[in-house]
Amino acid sequence: MTPDPHPGSGPLFGRRLPAVTAAAVVAALAAAMMSPPDYVQGELVRLMYVHVPAAWAAYLSYAVTLAASVGWLRRRRPGLDRLAAASAEVGVFFTGLAIALGSIWGRPTWGVWWAWDARLVTTALLFFVYLGYLALRRAIPDPVLRARRSAVFGVVAFAQVPLVHFSVLWWRTLHQPPTVLRPSDPAIDHTMLIALLLGVLAFTLLHALFVRTRCRIAAARDALDADDETRYRPVAGAAVSAPEVGSHV
C-alpha cells in the first residue's frame, strides 16, 4: 500500500471502517436489548452496556494520547501530534458521555445523581485534565510549540493519573468491585457479558472511526497550510512599506 500523497484529499470517513463500526453498533444494540434484565436493577442494567464501554473508550483515548505524545517527543512527526490531539478530543467526549450515563444510571440505583466514589471522581478529574490539555492546545498558535508543550503535558498529566486514582481510592470507595476483570470466572451472567463485550467492541470501533476522521481533518488543514507555504509567502518585513511622507500636510 502506498501512502496517500495528499493526506487531506482522501475520503473523510472512509468506507470499510464506518461499515464495520455500524455493524458492531447494531450487534451491540441488539445484544443489549436481548440480554436479560438484572435481578436487582431490572431494565436499568441496560445502561451498563453503554456506560462501561464509554468509560473504556475514554481510557483508551487517553492511553493513545499518551503514546502519541511520547512518540512525538521522540520522532517529531506531525501525524503523532494530530493523533494525540484527536484522541484527547474524542476522549473528552467519551468521558463526558460516561459521566452523563453514569449519572443517569446512578440516580435510580443509588438515589443520587452524583456519588463520591473513587472511580467516578477519578473519571471527572480526567475529564478536567484533558479539558486543560485541549485549552492548552487552543492557546498556542505556533504548531511546533503547541505540539511540544501539549506532548509534555500529555505525559505529565497521564503520569499523575495513577496517583490521583490511588489517592481517591484510599479516600473513599463505594463503587461495586470489579465484576468482569476478575482472574476467575466473571461474576456476571454470560449473556450479559457477551452484550457488554459487544458494546466495548462497538465503542472501540467508534473511537477508531472518530479519531481517524479527526486526524484526517487535521491533516487536511495542515496540508492546506503547507500548500499555502509552498506558494511564495512574503516575509514578515514585506508587510511594511515606505510611509507617505507629506500627504498629511
Shortest Cβ 56–other proteins spacing (Å): 21
Q: Is 175 in the site for other proteins (CB under 8 A)?
A: no
Q: Is 67 in the site for other proteins (CB under 8 A)?
A: no
CB 20 within 8 A of CB 211: no
Which one of 28-36, 50-58, 173-181, 227-235 is the stretch in contact with other proteins (CB under 8 A)?
227-235
Q: Is 128 in the site for other proteins (CB under 8 A)?
A: yes
Segment 72 to 111, residues that bind other proteins, using CB under 8 A: 73
Contacts of 125 (CB under 8 A, 6+ apart): 164, 168
* Residue choice 143, 187, 221, 227 for contact with other proteins (CB under 8 A): 143
φ, ψ dihedrals at 38, nearest 5° = -75, 150
CB 222 within 8 A of CB 82: yes
CB 24 within 8 A of CB 205: yes
36 versus 162: smaller Cβ distance to other proteins: 162
* Residue choice 22, 136, 193, 208 for contact with other proteins (CB under 8 A): 136
Shortest Cβ 19–other proteins spacing (Å): 38
The rounded distance, in Å, linking the Cα atoms of 58 and 145 is 26
Q: Is 113 in the site for other proteins (CB under 8 A)?
A: no
77 versus 182: smaller Cβ distance to other proteins: 77
The rounded distance, in Å, linking the Cα atoms of 151 and 133 is 9
Question: Cell 493513545 sits at which residue?
Answer: 64
For the chain, the first-to-last Cα distance in angstroms comes to 68
* Residue choice 20, 22, 25, 125 for contact with other proteins (CB under 8 A): 125
Read off the DSSP letter of residue 143.
H
Q: What is the CA radius of gyration of the chain?
A: 23
Task: Please report, as ranges, the residues that interact with other proteins according to CB under 8 A.
Answer: 73, 125-126, 128-129, 131-132, 135-136, 139-143, 145, 148-149, 151-153, 155-157, 159-160, 163-164, 166-168, 170-171, 225, 228-229, 233-240
